[in-house]
Amino acid sequence: MRIQVRAAAVSRSSARQLLRATSYAVWVSLAIPLAAAAQPATDTPDCNPAPYRFLRYSEDFIFVRNPACQTDFWDAVKHVPFGPDNEQFLSLGGDLRIQWVNGRYLSFGNEGGDNHNVMLERIHLHANTRLASAVRVFAELKSNFEQNREPGPLGADVDRLDIHQAFVDFGTDRSPLLRLGRQELIYGSGRRIFPRNGPNVRGNFDAVRATAPIADWRADAFVFRPVSVDPGVFDDGTIDTQTFWGLYATGTPPSFSPFGIDVYYIGARRLGVRFSQGPATEQRHSIGTRLFGRSGAWDFDHELTAQWGSFGSGSIKAWAARG
């Protein structure tokens, strides 16, 4: 279980307002015994020092089978074996993120730009089930709420209850893998494909993804459509006017050691998209490469991308260099 509390203030704030903004998280934190937090960390080599991941489906809690690694209050539900040989298992988890925003002059002096004591709540609950050595089902529910924003919630503020992820895996991380269903995707530094973590409602995609390890590389082929954000209950649908596809390979070949390199192609077709010229169909292709790594105290992430395509009767030619 992960708990996040964030506060942002553009104008005056008080300790009383901040305490009220975080009151929703207090009851959750009280559920974690102080004794669990006081337990010493284990040095057992088989223990995972950072089990919680940004992509929750990438977590692996098999290490809690070792009693010496069970130091977290939630370990009891993080790896529940079942089946005749106990090789199948269920893992349960969730996220609670609360944000309090007190802002003034958000419209640069225009009317309606102030927002006082805006509360944003994000709640996720998931179940990860390994049914066989090469078959896994992952499902995640989401619930997102907002209070006090004027003149009303933003488009990605409210989604009362819906399916955030629901996919099946055929294969494992160490073998060719096929993933089918609603899922989060992130590649590289997240500049091109990312699950939109900033807004209150996190982004997701209806996708088919094939992954294969090849020597020092991991290669992905994918096709996906974004999922809409609708405020009701189980009403988020696929945005069928937008289609993306591509190939993405990342690796650490010995000739680049200790650095890594990504190479990719991403295609996109969007119907009725609007730019300054008006609405039209966009067809865009991107190729790029990314060099990343660490050398001593120096971290770096450099990326070069070229784009071409069409927008209506016009052409697209663009490039970007980031570092």
Residue 112: what pLDDT?
Answer: 56
| Phi and psi based region of residue 243 (left: phi greater than 0; alpha: psi -120 to 50; beta: remaining) | beta
pLDDT tens-digit map of 238-275: 999 999 999 999 999 988 888 899 999 999 999 999 99
E strands, the chain, in order: 2-9, 80-82, 88-103, 115-132, 135-147, 159-170, 177-183, 205-214, 217-226, 242-251, 260-275, 278-295, 298-311, 314-322
Confidence band, pLDDT 50/70/90 cuts, at residue 91: very high
Residue 28: what pLDDT?
Answer: 44
Residue 110: what pLDDT?
Answer: 59
Tokens of 41: 């960390």
Q: d(Cα 146, Cα 154) in Å, to the nearest integer?
A: 9
In the predicted model, what is the mean pLDDT of the chain? Answer: 86
Residue 160: what pLDDT?
Answer: 97
pLDDT tens-digit map of 147-157: 988 888 889 99
pTM, 2 dp: 0.83
- Characterize 230-260 residue by residue with b for buried, 16 or more Cβ atoms within 10 angstroms of its Cβ, and e for exposed: bbeeeebeebeebbbebebbbbeeeeeeeeb
By DSSP bridging, strand 115-132 and strand 80-82 are: unpaired
Neighbouring C-alpha atoms within 13 Å toward the C-beta of 204: 27
Residue 298: what pLDDT?
Answer: 86
